[in-house]
Structure 1
Amino acid sequence: MEQEFDLDSVVRQRIRGLRLARGWSLDALAARCRLSPSNLSRIETGQRRIALDQLVPIARALDTTLDQLVESADDEDVVIRPQACHTPGMTSWLLSRERSLHGVTVAKLRITAEHPTGSADLKVHPGHEWFTVLSGAARLHLGERVVLVRTGDAAEFSTMTPHAIGAHEGPVEILTILDHNGERTHLPTGADTH
C-alpha cells in the first residue's frame, strides 16, 4: 500500500510540473482536459483520488502518455552508463536510452583525424542537426564551405546541405542532438542497441 501512495504522489507532482512547465494555469489545463478547475486543483493537491477516466484526458492535454505519467519513480533508470561504439576515427556514446517522445537521440562523439571528412563523405538527409564542442575544434563541412567550431561554441544547420564533421588539429569531442534520419546517417549501425 505504501508503494501506491508514493506513485500517487509522483503522478500528482508530474501533472503539476508539466502544467507549470507549459506556463498554464489550473483553468487552462482544466479547459483542455474538460475537468473543472476545482477538481484539477484537488487532484494536484491530493485532496481527491485520481481516477483512470481523469488521467487519460489529463495526459492527452499535457501531450504525454498515460504510461509516462504513471511510470515507476524508482532510481533504476536515472543513470545511463553508455557503452562506447568504435569505428575508424570515431567513438560514440549514446546518452539517451531510446529516442525520446520528440524523436531525438543525444550522443557524445569523439572524432580523430582518422575519421573521413572528404567531399565523398558528405551526407544529406532531411532535418536539422545541432552540436556543441566540448573540447578541441570541429571542422564542419557544409557543401563547399568549411566552418571551424571551437570549444564552447555550438552549430545548427540544415541537413539538406551536404555535410560532415571532422577534427581540426587534434581530436574533438562534441555533444550532438540527432533526429531519426541523422542517427541512421551518422551513428554506427547498431549504436541504438547499446
Structure 2
Amino acid sequence: MTQENDVDAVIRQRIRSLRLARGWSLENLAARCQLSASTLSRIESGHRRMALDQLLLIARAFDTTLDALVEQAGQDDVVIRPLPSHAPGLTTWVLSSADGIHGKTVAKMRITPGRPGERGVHAGRDWFTVLSGIVRLELGEQTILVHPGEVAEFSTMTPHAICAHLGPVEILTIFNHDGGQAHLHGA
C-alpha cells in the first residue's frame, strides 16, 4: 500500500468515525453536507475517489476544518512529556502540543503560598479545576475559595489572581491564546 493510500484510508476512517460518534446515519450527514448518501457511502468504503470540494463540505458538516479532517496522525504526537517551568511560587507543566487544541493551551500548575498575588487583566476567559489544595481566586473585589473537584470559569477582563490558600495547590487549566500569553509567557 502506498503512502497516498494510507492517508486516504485514514481520512475515510476518520469521516466514518466522526459520523458514527455523532450518531448520524449516512442520510443525516448527506443532509448536512449536500452530498448524496450513496456518494458518502462510497467515499467511506473506498469505492469513490475523494475530491477536495467534497472534503470541504464534509469538514463543514462536522464543524471542523479541512486541515483537521485530513491531518496525518503521527505516533510521535501521542505522548507529551512536559518539562516544568519555574517562577516564584509557581511551577507549570504545559500539557498540550505547541499548536494547542483548537487554539487552547492545557497546563498543570502547582502554586505555593509564596507566589505573588498580582492581579492581571487580559482578553478572553480562564478555566481551571482544582486537583488538590484550595485555590483563593481573587476576582475583582471578590475572594472566592475553590476546592478540589470544583471548577472556576471567568472573564479575564476582570482583574484576577489565582493563589494558594493555606498551602500548596495544584490545578489543571485551559487558556485561550490571550490567557496563555498572559499566564505562561508573562506578556
Letter matched to residue 181 of structure 2: R
RMSD between superposed Cα atoms in Å = 2.1
CA distances 1:65-98 after superposition (whole Å, capped 9, x unpaired): 3332222233110111112111111111111112
Structure-1-length-normalised TM-score: 0.84
- Note closer, same or farther for the CA distance 1:180–1:73 as it changes in structure 2 (3 Å cut): closer
| Further displaced range: 60-69 or 31-40 | 60-69
Specify the alignment match of 1:92 in structure 2: 92
Question: Displacement of 1:159 after TM fit?
Answer: 1.7
Q: Identify unmatched segments of 5+ residues in structure 2.
A: none
Distance between the aligned counterparts of 2:93 and 2:75, measured in 1? 21
Return the alpha-carbon distance in structure 1 between the equivalents of residues 112 and 142 of structure 2: 20
Aligned-residue sequence identity (percent) comes to: 64
Alignment of structure 1 residues 16-165 onto 2, 5 Å? 16-97=16-97, 98-101=99-102, 103-117=103-117, 121-165=118-162
Gaps of at least 5 residues in structure 1 are none
Task: Give the aligned residue type for 2:125.
Answer: H
Select between 89-98 and 14-23 the one with higher mean Cα deviation: 14-23
Q: Deviations over 1:162-187 (max 9, x none)?
A: 11101111111100011122112211
Code of the aligned partner of 2:14: R
- How far apart in 1 are the matches of 2:147 and 2:155? 19
| Cα distance in structure 1, aligned partners of 2:31 and 2:176 | 33
**Over 6 Å off, 4+ runs:** none
Contact 1:110/1:171 (CA < 8 Å) preserved in 2? yes
- Once the two structures are TM-superposed, the CA of residue 25 in structure 1 deviates from its matched residue by 3.6
Count how many residue pairs are aligned between Structure 1 and Structure 2. 186
SS, match of residue 131 in structure 2: strand
CA contact (8 A) 1:87 1:188 kept: no
> What residue number does 1:12 align with?
12
Using the TM superposition, give the Cα deviation of residue 51 of structure 1 relative to its aligned residue in structure 2, in angstroms.
3.1
**What TM-score do you get using the length of structure 2 for normalisation?**
0.87
How far off is 1:26 after superposition? 2.4
